[in-house]
């Protein structure tokens, strides 16, 4: 760049051209920093068909020994006679002068020393914008386009199916889980030849099937591939309700879930409705805690005697209770051919709002009518019987009669269910 500047300066000192302007020429000087100052002029002909020609010339170099002139204050007379757009050399000292070629109202090109008024107005009204930081640009980057889910290899899918996927289950169990009927009624449908698996009639309830892969029809209706999710409820059973799906003239505890079942499709679109059933049973006159679910394995574990889950009852007795009665109840009795003895027998303290005595009895066998048989064997008559606890889960005090509440994982663990 320095060599180029030196060559231009040498050429400018030896060659000069004559500049023809329609307006007086503006003298320009070269600064001590050897900046080039150029003047562009245009000579316009009177006819619009001719194109304007521009001649360029350079000012002679300024000697180094020449002192720098300071601008003198102009008098009022000089300022009045000074032509607008024409500046002195001192005013342009140390400053690069750039002329403006502007088209006037008549369409002719003219030379002026100040920018157009329109440009100055736009610059004054322009709004300055802060420079965006690189971090902001990175944060506002366009989101990546969604990519399709990766397709796993056959070996990976086979490994998943063999190790993590649910294994095939018995046909009767699959039908019961799908809500077709109870397991016993599902077996009757299978024996009756009303169930087909992959186009063939299946008469064996123990046949292992996979509802996702196998095509299962029951009475001409295909079984959905998606099984309903597992649900668990605690119900405060009222008196006069039976635990099985009763006939029209009897009231079933499952009818207390009609609102829940009617709103199932709205809350769980695309999923089949679960078939609810009770875990164990309470007779029609017994009230209190009852577990309702559609998980057959969970129900079997809780209701089977081998689980040895303790169940706590409060028996309200007609008449008086003495120590001999409590000893007889604690000794146990034979229920369904098996000797059953309670874990705890306790006479509760009287309360002012209750006139009848109450006995707290805890059993773990879970035999049918076990508590009633124990009290009957002691020569007492039960006025009311209520179950208040199963395992480590106690009936919530704020759960009204006939109401149900969904069980959480902590409640299921209290019932001994770890899955």
- The residues annotated as belonging to the active site are 283
Please choose, from the candidates 176, 192, 38, the residue with its C-alpha nearest in 3D space to the C-alpha of residue 111: 38
Q: Report the C-alpha gap between 58 and 25 in whole angstroms.
A: 12
- What's the half-sphere exposure (Cβ side, CA atoms, 13 Å) at 137? 4
Please choose, from the candidates 316, 336, 335, 334, the residue with its C-alpha nearest in 3D space to the C-alpha of residue 380: 316
Q: What is each CA distance from 392 to 109, 388, 397, in whole angstroms?
A: 99, 11, 15
Please choose, from the candidates 52, 123, 58, the residue with its C-alpha nearest in 3D space to the C-alpha of residue 97: 58
User: Where do runs of H (alpha helix) occur along 238-362?
Assistant: 258-262, 264-267, 296-303, 323-331
Query: Which 3 state secondary structure label does DSSP give 382?
Result: strand
Q: Helices (H) and strands (E) in the chain — how many of each?
A: 13, 21
Q: What are phi and psi of 413, to 5 degrees?
A: -65, -35
Q: For helices 370-377 and 323-331, give the axis angle rounded to 10 degrees.
A: 130
Q: Report the C-alpha gap between 317 and 319 in whole angstroms.
A: 6
Q: Report the C-alpha gap between 346 and 359 in whole angstroms.
A: 6
């Amino acid at each position: 760049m320095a060599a180029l500047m030196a060559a231009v300066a040498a050429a400018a000192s030896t060659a000069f051209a004559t500049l023809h302007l329609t307006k007086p020429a503006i003298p320009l000087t070269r600064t001590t920093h050897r900046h080039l100052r150029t003047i562009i002029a245009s000579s316009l002909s009177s006819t619009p068909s001719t194109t304007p020609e521009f001649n360029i010339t350079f000012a002679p170099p300024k000697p180094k020994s020449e002192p720098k002139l300071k601008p003198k204050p102009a008098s009022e007379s000089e300022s009045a006679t000074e032509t607008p757009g024409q500046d002195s050399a001192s005013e342009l000292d140390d400053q690069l002068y750039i002329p403006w070629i502007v088209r006037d109202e008549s369409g002719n090109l003219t030379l002026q020393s100040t920018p157009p008024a329109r440009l100055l107005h736009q610059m004054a009204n322009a709004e300055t914008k802060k420079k965006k930081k690189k971090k902001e640009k990175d944060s506002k980057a366009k989101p990546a386009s969604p990519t399709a889910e990766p397709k796993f290899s056959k070996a990976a899918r086979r490994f998943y199916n063999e190790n993590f996927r649910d294994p095939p289950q018995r046909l009767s169990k699959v039908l019961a889980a799908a809500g077709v009927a109870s397991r016993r009624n599902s077996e009757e449908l299978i024996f009756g030849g009303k169930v087909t698996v992959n186009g063939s009639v299946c008469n064996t309830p123990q046949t292992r099937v996979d509802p996702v892969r196998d095509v299962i029809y029951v009475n001409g209706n295909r079984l959905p591939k998606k099984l309903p999710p597992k649900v668990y409820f605690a119900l405060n059973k009222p008196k006069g309700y039976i635990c099985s799906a009763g006939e029209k003239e009897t009231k079933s505890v499952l009818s207390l879930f009609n609102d829940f079942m009617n709103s199932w499709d709205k809350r769980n679109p695309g999923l089949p409705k679960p078939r609810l059933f009770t875990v164990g049973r309470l007779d029609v006159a017994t009230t209190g805690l009852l577990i309702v679910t559609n998980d057959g394995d969970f129900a079997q574990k809780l209701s089977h005697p081998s689980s040895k889950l303790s169940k706590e009852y409060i028996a309200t007795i007609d008449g008086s209770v003495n120590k001999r009665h409590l000893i007889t109840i604690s000794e146990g009795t034979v229920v369904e051919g098996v000797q059953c003895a309670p874990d705890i027998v306790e006479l509760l303290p009287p309360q002012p709002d209750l006139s009848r005595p109450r006995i707290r009895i805890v059993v773990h066998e879970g035999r049918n009518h076990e508590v009633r048989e124990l009290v009957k064997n002691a020569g007492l008559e039960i006025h009311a019987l209520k179950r208040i606890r199963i395992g480590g889960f106690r009936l919530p005090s704020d759960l009204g009669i006939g109401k149900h509440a969904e069980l959480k994982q902590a409640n299921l663990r209290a019932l001994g269910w770890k899955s």
